[in-house]
Structure 1
Amino acid sequence: MSAFEITRDGAVAQLKLSRPEASNALDLSFWRDFGPALRALDATGEVRALVISGEGRNFCAGMDISVFSCGAIMKTDTAAERQAFHQAARELQDTLTMIERVRFPVIAAVQGACVGAGLDLVAACDLRLAAVGAYFRIEEINIGMMADVGSLQRLPYVLPEAVVRELAYLGTSLSAERAERLGFVNAVLPDSGALAAAALEMALAIAAKAPLAISGSKAAVTYARDHTVAEGLEWAAVMQGSIWNTADILAAIQARMMRTSAEFAPLAPLAGFGTAAD
């Protein structure tokens, strides 16, 4: 049984974590299937936005205990076991990094608990919405571990450092309301129904924009996060030259003048190199 379900309606895709009986804890099937699923969506060139949500009361309770039963994760007694541990950790990291690598924006719609690996996941998303009562927590410190799948690396770019240290050291919860005040969450909605509607509305608004401009903007923001301003400006100049599309610009201007919706060509399909091994 898959850990999630994917549906598509035109240019908008939705990925719903579908293990509500386990509060959508991320089991081995999730870590095996998530990266290839995102690559497959991106490969079509037709998806312009993705909403990730969780079925049931909680968005995600973190890493499922089954993952920790893997020998490569648990054993670090020998040099070979430590190397295998390192490789396994990198594969988990790469799975969530795929959220940043796909060409379309990814929106997290969070209700209830979003802890541990769930927080790692939403930290990699482009936009985050939450329902009243939702909360975020670096759970690993509460079970004797350092978080290692992305929260400690990405959160300092979207939350004040002192708050990240508070979460990392104390294992306390960050409420949706405080997360919004601090800029981590884009909006807090009154309930799960309003949350789903707002996430879909946001995705549809993104899907109505020129796909090349959206994908370029996503790549530019991510690149700027990891480089100097000068490097980011140079990169943006090169990127703009590579994705400049007069047809998209004219279509957007004409639609604006006529007060209609513009029609844009989809992104080019990806060649799919390396997907056969997934």
Structure 2
Amino acid sequence: MTATADSLPDLVSLKVEIDGHVAEVTLLGPSKGNAMGPDFWRELPIVFRALDADPQVRAVVLTGSGKHFSYGLDLPAMMPSWGEMLGGDALAGPRTKFLDEVRTLQASVSSVAECRKPVIAAISGWCIGGGVDVIAAADIRLASADAKFSVREVKVAIVADLGSLQRLAPIIGEGHLRELALTGKDIDAARAEKIGLVNDVHADQDTLLAEARKLAAEIATNPPLVVQGTKNVLSANTERQVADGLRYVSAWNAAFLPSKDLGEAVQAFLERRAPEFKGE
């Protein structure tokens, strides 16, 4: 039986607070910049399924602790287990385990989209890679003026596989998505607002959170079942397409992710230098 928000187990990477009918979920790390390690991927679906099941909760604000939303995937924390699945001449067995791992992470992000309560992402500072996957699964995105975004996976020799490539096209358009995903470039809050990635930009983090809470409270005054039904209808077509795309990219990465370029990307990251990719 799914826990409700007031009976959640002790959490390491997330904090949940409820004020009236609005829940606030804060990324805590524990890695620098709220990087997303094993605890985050385990706890995110627990939290959002609990919020989905809790009749008191009618809207959710999702934000990051400190100055940043999230640096994205915690590569040092995740790579050891991935290396066991993809290292050397990995055959069908370990690659199948990796496929299962990717689909588990996909389901973790999808728990945000599948939550029947509208989710408002409030983004300050950096939002990179997996952070973009998560905010793409939210219903509404707001940013502070210092926010910066990057679909960064291509720069570390990975095809983004947790939802950005599937969810962002209806939000920002195919052309903008291809530009971000193929370059891995950084964009600021003004550009994010211009292309529709965020609805509004606010002067600072405090103002951003106040406005996100205000918007969530406004949503929460409406009939809750009608709000949930509206979200369900809006998501009906897009989430079917997302599910197909997630299945495809997980199989793609299980087959093609292992490469010398990936090893070079990880080594360059650890050595804090620019990688040299050779297409091998």
Is the shorter-chain TM-score for this pair beyond 0.5, marking a shared fold?
Answer: yes
Of residues 40, 51, 57, the one that matches 1:47 is 57
Structure 1 residue aligned with 2:74: 64
Contact 1:20-1:56 within 8 A present in 2 as well: no
Cα distance, 1:36 vs structure 2: 1.1
Q: Which amino acid is the alignment partner of residue 94 of structure 1?
A: A
Structure 2 residue aligned with 1:174: 187
| Deviations 1:195-245, CA, capped at 9 Å, x for gaps | 0100000010011000011000000110133579xxxxxxxxxxxxxxxxx
Contact 1:73-1:88 within 8 A present in 2 as well: no
Q: Which amino acid is the alignment partner of residue 122 of structure 1?
A: I
Of residues 12, 32, 51, the one that matches 2:22 is 12
Assess, with a 3 A threshold, how the Cα gap between structure 1 residues 222 and 193 changes in structure 2: closer, same or farther: same
Q: Determine if the alignment matches structure 1 residue 2 to structure 2 residue 12.
A: yes
Cα distance, 1:21 vs structure 2: 5.8
| Deviations 1:71-100, CA, capped at 9 Å, x for gaps | 477526110111111111001001010111
Question: TM-score if structure 2 supplies the norm length?
Answer: 0.78
Gaps of 5+ in 1: 229-278
Q: Which amino acid is the alignment partner of residue 6 of structure 1?
A: V
Q: Determine if the alignment matches structure 1 residue 154 to structure 2 residue 149.
A: no
Assess, with a 3 A threshold, how the Cα gap between structure 1 residues 72 and 93 changes in structure 2: closer, same or farther: farther
Q: Determine if the alignment matches structure 1 residue 128 to structure 2 residue 141.
A: yes
Of residues 89, 92, 116, the one that matches 1:103 is 116
Gaps of 5+ in 2: 1-10, 242-280
Cα distance, 1:19 vs structure 2: 2.5
Percent identical = 37
Assess, with a 3 A threshold, how the Cα gap between structure 1 residues 73 and 46 changes in structure 2: closer, same or farther: farther
What SS is found at the alignment partner of 1:149?
A: coil
Structure 2 CA distance, aligned partners of 1:144 and 1:72? 15
Contact 1:20-1:58 within 8 A present in 2 as well: no
Contact 1:106-1:125 within 8 A present in 2 as well: yes
Structure 1 residue aligned with 2:128: 115
Structure 2 residue aligned with 1:75: 86
What SS is found at the alignment partner of 1:50?
A: strand
Assess, with a 3 A threshold, how the Cα gap between structure 1 residues 15 and 73 changes in structure 2: closer, same or farther: farther
Q: Which has the larger radius of gyration?
A: 1
